[in-house]
Structure 1
């Protein structure tokens, strides 16, 4: 199972789509529970992947160090904005199985969204981590109206990121006309990425474009039983106050509270909306996003949810258009099954943006 551990509710950035730190009464800025309770809970899971989360997790490096020294887990990783990598000793970086760096693509896009100089700081962090032997580094994008998905994803792959994944800036943010933007910008870019993925696959190379890989995996191997991120049924978040949450962005919602580290917790039985249950793309989407399922109409209304659903369906259709050919390439030995196999839970990535 995936364990997302909040180290703090504080953040040193104030990105345009996020707003920065959580209020301390919502997600405390320091751990308020007994560390050994966390150790006991996680070690009941023999297949635990622990990903440090925030806020900005590197604002509390002591907790990261304690956890990596004392908690037995199969894999460790971190989701970080990449500006404070010097706060964690290099030996702990080398022990990380996966590092996700938040970067929105090209320099102008990243700095406009995240703040002047952030792109350069993340680029330097990437080079440093690679130089000390971190093998698996993933670009973690937020896609806004500024994004050119083809240009920004290929930019990050060309830098050398092993994988790129992204989330659309929808539902939890102010409403904007995503359908018009998607038809004119995003979806044509998605189709170009799909074409690029296929061309490279025919040459024997599998690009680490997570949404494409994730949808292909549902086609080739096993469909998703719920949102591909695993929220609530294969993944939980532990807040700094000890609450065990179904979704790491649902820190205020009662439905997200599965229990507490002092008393234990119970995983959710994910109930997808009727429109998802009847949808032909359910095996590849799994409902897309638990938070959007539970809260989407409250923020964006029915028409907004349907607009996002349209973008999701068109994205899946684009990937499925190459799925039979990818299967052929595997069967013919051009690409290996193990190169295409991808479980987003192990990396805490998003398959359906």
Structure 2
């Protein structure tokens, strides 16, 4: 199971789509529970992956070190904005199986969203981490109206990121004309990425584009039971106040509280809405996003939620156009099955943006 462990609710950046730190009364800026309670829960999970989360988790490096020194997990990782990597000693980085660095693609796009100079700082962090012995390094994008998905994803792959995944800036943000942008920009870019993925596969190389890999993996191996991120049924978040949550962004919602570190918790029984159950693309989508399913209409309304569903459907359809050929390539041994078998829960990534 995936454990997203908050180290703090504070952040040192104020990105345009995020707003910065959580209020201390919502997610305290320091951990207030006994770490031994966390250790007991995690060590009961023999397949535990612990990913440090925030806020910006590196604002509390001491807690990260204490967890890594005292809690036995199969894998460790972190989601970080990449600006404070020097705060964690090198030997702890070498024990990380996965590092997700927040970067939105090209330099001008990243800096417009995240602050001047952030792109260069994150690229420098990438180069430093690559030399520390960490496992896979994943680019964690937020896609906004500034994004050219083809240019931004290929830019990050050219830097050397092992994988790239992204989330659309929709539903829990202010409304914008995402439909026009998607038709004119995003969906044509997705089709170009799909063509590029197939071209490289024909050459025997599998690109680490998580949404494409994730959909192909569902097609070839095992469909998704619920949202691919596993929120609530294969993944939980532990807030700094000890609450165990179904989703790391649902820090204010009562429905997301599964329990707490002191008394334990119970996983959710994911029930998809009727529109999802009737959808032929459900095996590849799994309902897309638990938070959107629970809160989407309250934030954006039914019509705009349908726009997001439209973008999801078109994205999946584009990827499925190459699925039969990809299967042929695996049968011929041009690419190998294990290169296409991708479980997003292990990396805390998003298959359906």
TM-score (normalised: structure 2): 1.00
Q: Which residue of 1 aligns with 2:322?
A: 322
1:157-199 per-position Cα deviation (integer Å, ceiling 9, x unaligned): 0000000000000000001111110000000000000000000
Say yes or no: does 1:225 pair with 2:220. no
**What's the CA shift for 1:289?**
0.1
Alignment of 1:295-306 (within 5 A): 295-306=295-306
- Name the CA distance, whole Å, in 1 between partners of 2:134 and 2:299: 39
1:6-39 per-position Cα deviation (integer Å, ceiling 9, x unaligned): 0000000000000000000000000000110110
**What's the CA shift for 1:59?**
0.2
Q: Which residue of 1 aligns with 2:240?
A: 240
Q: Which residue of 1 aligns with 2:350?
A: 350
3-state secondary structure, aligned to 1:52: strand
- Name the CA distance, whole Å, in 1 between partners of 2:134 and 2:92: 10
- Name the CA distance, whole Å, in 2 between partners of 1:65 and 1:305: 41
**What's the CA shift for 1:114?**
0.2
- Name the CA distance, whole Å, in 1 between partners of 2:66 and 2:338: 34
Write out the 4+ residue segments of structure 1 that deviate beyond 4 Å after TM superposition. none
**What's the CA shift for 1:133?**
2.1
Alignment of 1:1-353 (within 5 A): 1-353=1-353
1:108-156 per-position Cα deviation (integer Å, ceiling 9, x unaligned): 0000000001001000000000122223100000000000000000000
- Name the CA distance, whole Å, in 2 between partners of 1:178 and 1:94: 40
1:73-101 per-position Cα deviation (integer Å, ceiling 9, x unaligned): 00000000000000000000000000000
- Name the CA distance, whole Å, in 1 between partners of 2:135 and 2:72: 21
- Name the CA distance, whole Å, in 2 between partners of 1:256 and 1:117: 36
- Name the CA distance, whole Å, in 2 between partners of 1:309 and 1:279: 11
1:62 and 1:295, CA in 2 relative to 1: closer, same or farther beyond 3 A? same
- Name the CA distance, whole Å, in 1 between partners of 2:246 and 2:313: 25
Size of the aligned set, in residue pairs, is 353
**What's the CA shift for 1:40?**
0.5
What residue ranges of structure 1 are gaps of 5+ in the alignment? none
**What's the CA shift for 1:340?**
1.0
**What's the CA shift for 1:275?**
0.5
- Name the CA distance, whole Å, in 1 between partners of 2:269 and 2:131: 43
1:195-250 per-position Cα deviation (integer Å, ceiling 9, x unaligned): 00000000000000000000000100000000000000000000000000000000
1:234-292 per-position Cα deviation (integer Å, ceiling 9, x unaligned): 00000000000000000000000000000000000011111001001000000000000
- Name the CA distance, whole Å, in 2 between partners of 1:132 and 1:14: 28
